[in-house]
Chain A
Amino acid sequence: MKAAVITFPGSNCDRDLAVAFEAAGFDVTRVWHKDTALPSGLDVVGIPGGFSFGDYLRCGAIAANSPICRSVVSHARAGGYVLGICNGFQVLCETGLLPGVLMRNAGLKFVCRNVGLTVASVESPFTDAYALGQDLMIPVAHHDGNYNAAPEVLAALEAENRVAFRYTDNPNGSMADIAGVLSENHRVLGMMPHPERAVDPEHGGTDGQAMFSGMAKALVSA
C-alpha cells in the first residue's frame, strides 16, 4: 500500500502523519507543495496539520491553490482516498472536496488538549475498524475548528452518514458537534482532531491507531 504525505511551508504534523502510516504498513512518499504530480499507484494522500502559509488570508486557502493540490483534487475526483487532518481538513474544505468551512473557535481561544469523540459513521475505510458509537480520546490543537455549513448541507451529511466523528464535549462551537466529515463517495475524510498523535502508547493513548490499521486492511481487500 502506498501513501503520500504532503508538506506545505508551515506544515508541522507531516512527519507524525508519515510515521503513523508507516506503522500501519504503508510505504510513504513525502511530497513537497511545489511538486505538480503525486507518485503513481498511490492509495491514499495525507494532508497534515500545521499552519500552511502562515494561515494567511484564511486557514488552508493558499495551500488549496498550490500546484500539488490540483493533483490531490484530481486524485480524489478519480475516486482516490484522501485524509486531511486539522489544517488538512481546512485545506480540503477550501478545495471544495469537502463541504462547509472551519471558522474561528467560538471561544476565540486556541484549544490544545485531549477531547472525547464518538464514532458517528463506520461507512468509510478510515472508520470501519471502529464500532459505531465507540468513544475515543484524541488530541485537538487548533484555533479555527468551528465547523459551519448551510442547513441543507448538514441535513445531507446526516442523511448520507457522512459525519465521521462528533465531539462528546464540543470544544470549538462546531455545528452539530461535528469533528470530521466524509465526502459524498466516503473516500475523503477531513477531521480536526489528530489521530496520528494517538498511535503509540508513548503518546498517552492509542485510539487513533485503528484508523491507520483499518485503512490498510480496507485498502488491501478493496
Chain B
Amino acid sequence: MKVRVDVMLKTGVLDPQGEAVRHALGALGFEGVEGARQGKVIELDLADGTSEDEVKAMCEKLLANTVIESYAIHM
C-alpha cells in the first residue's frame, strides 16, 4: 500500500526558502503571489495492513522534526 506523508514548516515558522520562491515568482512577473511555503512529500510503500498509528510513529521519530514541522498522513 502507498502512503503519502506531507511535511510542512508549522505556521509562524519563518520559511526563507518559501520566501525566496515567492520573491522569484514576483520577479518573473507573476502578480499577486502573496505567499509561498515549501515542504516535503514522502511516499512510503508499506506492507498491507500497516496502521495509521505506525505511520504516525514514523513521522514523530524521523520523518518530521515536530519542533518546527507538522505532518499530514494520506493513507
Chain A residues with a Cβ under 8 A of chain B = 57-58, 61, 65, 94, 100-101, 103-108, 146, 148-150, 173
Interface residues of B in 35-75 (CB under 8 A from A): 61-63, 65, 67-68
Interface residues of B in 16-47 (CB under 8 A from A): 16-17, 20
Q: What residues of B have a CB within 8 angstroms of the CB of A108 in the complex?
A: 16-17, 20
What residue of chain A has the Cβ atom nearest to residue B42's Cβ? A57
Q: A108-B20, A148-B68 are in contact. Are A57 and B13 (CB under 8 A)?
A: no
- Whether the pair B65, A61 counts as a contact (CB closer than 8 A) is yes
- Whether the pair A57, B63 counts as a contact (CB closer than 8 A) is yes
The contact of A104 among B17, B61, B65, B67, by CB within 8 Å, is B17
Q: What residues of A have a CB within 8 angstroms of the CB of B13 in the complex?
A: 103, 148
A-B contact count (CB 8 A): 32
In the complex, A57 Cα to B39 Cα: how many Å? 11
Q: What residues of B have a CB within 8 angstroms of the CB of A149 in the complex?
A: 67
Chain B residues with a Cβ under 8 A of chain A = 13-14, 16-17, 20, 61-63, 65, 67-68
Q: A61-B62, A65-B61 are in contact. Are A104 and B68 (CB under 8 A)?
A: no
Min distance, Cβ B45 to any Cβ of chain A, angstroms: 17
What residue of chain B has the Cβ atom nearest to residue A96's Cβ? B67
Min distance, Cβ A87 to any Cβ of chain B, angstroms: 15
Min distance, Cβ B30 to any Cβ of chain A, angstroms: 20
12 pairs from A and B in contact (CB 8 Å cutoff): A61-B62, A65-B62, A100-B67, A101-B67, A101-B68, A103-B13, A103-B16, A104-B17, A108-B17, A148-B13, A148-B67, A149-B67
Min distance, Cβ A105 to any Cβ of chain B, angstroms: 8
Min distance, Cβ A114 to any Cβ of chain B, angstroms: 23
In the complex, A149 Cα to B61 Cα: how many Å? 19
- Whether the pair B62, A104 counts as a contact (CB closer than 8 A) is no
In the complex, A65 Cα to B58 Cα: how many Å? 12
